[in-house]
Amino acid sequence: MTTTNVVEPESLKVPPLSVEEEDAIIHTRITNDERPLRRIAKKFHTYASLVHPSPVQSSPLGSIDDAREAFLIELSSFELSLKKSIMVCEAEARQVEEYQRERRRIEAEHEALRAQIAELKIALEHAQTERRRKIEYDSVAEKINTFPSRDELHQAIFLLENDMTAIRAEHETQDRIIRGQKSALDSIVTDLASLRVLGKDKDASLFATPATTPAPELPDSDEGSRSSLPKDDEKQGEGIEYGEVAEGEDDGSLDLLSSSKLGPSVQGMMSQQSGTPLSSQREAQAQASVSADVDDDIEMGEVAEDPRPKRKVREDLEEGEASDSSSALSDPPDD
C-alpha cells in the first residue's frame, strides 16, 4: 500500500507564478505574521502523528491528550489573534472614514476661508478707497478753510465793483476833458490860421502903400518921445522886408501880437500851453518900450548895433534851408 500512495516528484508540476502573484505573496508575508500559523501546523502534525502512530511504535494515551489540548489551545489563540486582527481592521476602517470626514470638513473650511478672504480683500479695498477719499476731503477742506468766507468774498467783490464804477466815471470825465481840450486846440489852430492870413494881408498892405516920413520930435519932452515911438516903429517896419524879423525883436513880440488879437479864453489856453504867464508877457512889453526909447536917440539914417546877427531873408535862403524864424506862427512857404 505504501508503494501505491507514494507520488513521484517528477509527476508534480507547479505552475510558475506571475509577477503580480509574487508581489502579493511578498506583501502578505511582510504584513502578516506567520509564526502562529506555523505553530498551529506543528501542533497539528504532532497530534496527528500521535493519533495515527506507525505500527512499529505505540504512543501512550496521555501524550495524545496533551497534544490535543496543546493543539486546541494554539488554535484558540490563533482565533483570538484573528479576531484581534479583524477588530484592528474595523478600527482602521473607522479611522479611514473619520479621516475622510475630517478631510472633507477641512476642505469645506478651506473653501469657506477662501471665500472669507476674498470678501475681506473686497472690504479692505473699500476701506482703503474710503480712507483715500477721506484724506483728499481733509486736504480740500484745509484748502477751503484757508480761503476767506463767502461774506468776505461778497464784500471784496462789492468793493471791486465800486472801484470799477469810480474808474469808469473818472475815465468818462477824462474823456470829456480831453474832448474839450481837443475842441479848444482846434479853435486855437483855426485862430492861428486866421492870424496868419491877417498877417499876410497886413504885409501886403505895407508893401502896397509907402509910409510918409514924420517930422522929428524934440527929445526933451517925454510925451513927444513916447508919441513918436509908434512912428519910429512904423519906419523900422517899412525898412524890414517881407519875412524878415526886426532888429532887437524876438519871437516873444510875435507871441504878444498874436495874443493881443485873440480872445481871453484863447489867451488863457495859449499861456497854459506855452508855459509863460501873463506877467512875463507884460515884462516883454516893458522891455520893448525901453528898446523903443533907445531907438529914439539914434539919429535918422543910423543903424542900431545889435549883438545878435540878423536873420536871413527868406528869399536869400538856399533851396532846402530852413530860416531861424520858423515856428508855429511863421508864414507857410511860398509856392
Mind listing the pLDDT tens digit for each residue in 76-130? 888 888 898 899 889 999 999 999 999 999 999 999 999 999 999 999 999 999 9
Reading the block at residue 47, the C-alpha cell is 497530534
Q: 110 and 188 share a domain?
A: no
pLDDT at 253 over 50: no
Q: Where does a domain end: 178, 199, 220?
A: 199
Asked if the structure places residue 219 within a domain, the reply is no
Residue 252 lies in a domain: no
Residues 31, 119: one domain? yes
Instruction: Kindly state whether residues 120 and 33 are assigned to the same domain.
Output: yes
Single residue among 126, 158, 178 that ends a domain in this structure: 126
Burial track 20-37 (b if 16+ CB lie within 10 A, e otherwise): eeeeeeeeeeeeeeeebe
Distance CA 239, CA 248 (A): 14
Domain identity same for 93 and 53: yes
Among candidate residues 199, 216, 239, the one where a domain is terminated: 199
Check whether residue 65 and residue 120 sit in a common domain.
Answer: yes
- Cell numbers that stand for 204 in this block: 501886403
How many Å apart are CA 284 and CA 260, to the nearest integer? 13
More confident residue, 321 or 162: 162
Domain shared by 26 and 100, yes or no: yes
Residues 23, 84 within the same domain? yes
CA nearest to 270, candidates 281, 283, 282? 281
Mean pLDDT of the chain: 70
Domain assignment of residue 182, given as a range: 149-199
Q: Is residue 71 part of a domain?
A: yes
Quote the number of domains for the chain.
2
Is 208 inside any structural domain?
Answer: no
| Amino acid letter, residue 254 | L
| Residue 95 shares a structural domain with residue 155 | no
Q: With respect to residue 214, please indicate whether it lies within any of the assigned structural domains.
A: no
pLDDT at 136 exceeding the cut of 90:
yes
Whether residue 39 has pLDDT greater than 80? yes
- The reply to whether 109 and 163 lie within a common domain is no
Cell numbers representing residue 191 in the block: 485862430
**Pairwise CA distance, residues 145 & 302, whole Å:** 95
Cell numbers 495859449 correspond to 270
Q: In angstroms, rounded to a whole number, what is the distance separating the alpha carbons of residues 93 and 99?
A: 10
- Look at 132 and 1; give whichever has higher pLDDT: 132
Let me know whether 29 and 113 are in one domain. Answer: yes
Does pLDDT of 64 surpass 90?
no
pLDDT of residue 38: 80
Using CA atoms, how far residue 285 sits from 23, 106, 162, 224, in Å, is: 155, 129, 53, 19
Looking at the structure, tell me whether residues 68 and 118 fall in a common domain. yes
Nearest to 253 by CA among 297, 284, 227: 284
Q: Assess if residue 72 is contained within a domain.
A: yes
Please choose, from the candidates 232, 238, 246, the residue with its C-alpha nearest in 3D space to the C-alpha of residue 299.
232
Residue 333 and residue 321 in contact, taking contact as beta carbons nearer than 8 Å: no
**Is 82 part of any domain?**
yes
In whole angstroms, what is the distance from residue 43 CA to residue 67 CA?
7
Residue 121 within any structural domain of the chain:
yes
- Kindly compute the dihedral angle of the four CA atoms of residues 189, 190, 195, 198, in this order, to the nearest 10 degrees: 150
Residues 182 and 120 in one domain: no
